[in-house]
Amino acid sequence: MTDICPTCNRPWERGSHNPTSLMPADVIEEIERVGGRVFKGPYNVTLFGIRNDSTESGMWDDWVGALYQNDDEDWEVDLYPATTDPGTEWLERGNSSRGGTAVLCENIQFKGCWTLGLHQGKYPAMVQHGGKVAVYRDGNLDDQIDASGENHWGYYGINCHRGSAHRLVSRVGLYSAGCQVIQDPAHFAAYLDLCRKAVESGYGEKFSYILLKWPFRAGEE
C-alpha cells in the first residue's frame, strides 16, 4: 500500500510492521511503561525510535520520531521511516576490536546523550556528545540483527543523521554502523528543525533518546 508522507508529500510504502497510525497517547503510554520520561512544555521534544520485530538487516523498516506539545499544548507525534540497526555491510564486516557491530539497546532512555552538532564533522545532525548509550555487540558476521546479550555502555558515536543528502536510497548500506538514520533528507531536516526549536525555547542543548520495540506492549499488562 502506498501512502503520501505528510511532511514532504512524497509517496512511500507502508510495511507490514508499520506503527504510523499511532496517536501521541500511545507513544506516551509506551515510553512511561518502560520507565522513560515524557518531556512537557511547548516544543520540549521527547526523541524516540521504534525498532520493528524483524531481524533482517539493510532495510528502512524502523522509525525515528519526535513527541511534543505544540503552541496550544496539544500533543503531536512525527514519525519518519528510518533504520535503528546497522546495515548488512557493517554486520558482515564486524568490529573485532570491540567484540562486534554496535546495535543500540531497546527500552532504555539515554539521558542527555545527544546535542546538535556535525555528523563525522560533515553536516548537521544529532551527535553523541552528551552522555553514554548502551549497545549490544553483534559479532557473528551474518546478515541478521542480533539485538540481545550484554549491555555495553560508552561513547560510541551513536548519532542520529540522514541517509543520502539528495535522494531516497533503497538499502541502508554503509549509512548506519549503529546510528539511528532517517531515510529521507526532507524528513531529517524537519526533525532537526524541531530539535533547534526546543533549544530556542529554552530547554537546554542536550536531548535524551529512547528506542522502543514494536509492537508496543502498553495496555497488555
Q: 221 lies in a domain?
A: no
| DSSP letters spanning 88-127 | HHHHHH--TTTTSEEEEPSS-EEEEEEEEEEETTTEEEEE
Residues 45-54: b if buried by 16+ CB within 10 A, e if exposed: bbbbbbbbeb
Grid coordinates given for 90: 557493517
* 30 close to 50: Cβ distance less than 8 angstroms: no
For 108, the domain range is 21-213
Q: Cβ neighbours of residue 149 under 8 Å, at least 6 residues apart?
A: 136, 137
Establish if 91 belongs to a structural domain. Answer: yes
Question: Does residue 219 belong to any structural domain of this protein?
Answer: no
**Smallest Cα–Cα separation from 37: which of 132, 108, 139, 97?**
108
Would you say residue 218 lies in a domain? no
In a domain, 66, yes or no: yes
How high is the pLDDT of residue 15? 40
User: 9 in a domain, yes or no?
Assistant: no
Instruction: Give a yes or no: residue 1 inside a domain.
Output: no
What values do phi and psi take at 72, rounded to 5? -90, 5
The pLDDT score that the predictor gives to residue 95 is: 78
Q: Quick one: pLDDT at residue 18?
A: 59
Q: What is the pLDDT of residue 218?
A: 65
Q: Which residue has 560533515 as its cell numbers?
A: 122
Q: Is residue 84 classed exposed, middle or buried when 0-12, 13-18 and 19+ CB atoms within 10 A define those classes?
A: buried
How far apart CA 29 and CA 3 sit, in angstroms, is: 26
Rg (CA), the chain: 16
pLDDT profile of the chain (221 residues), mean per 10: 46 51 94 98 98 94 97 96 96 85 97 98 97 96 94 97 95 96 97 98 98 84 53
31 in any annotated domain = yes
Distance between CA 102 and CA 95 in Å, rounded?
Answer: 8
pLDDT at site 211:
98
- First-to-last alpha carbon distance for the chain, in angstroms, is 32
Overall domain count for the chain = 1
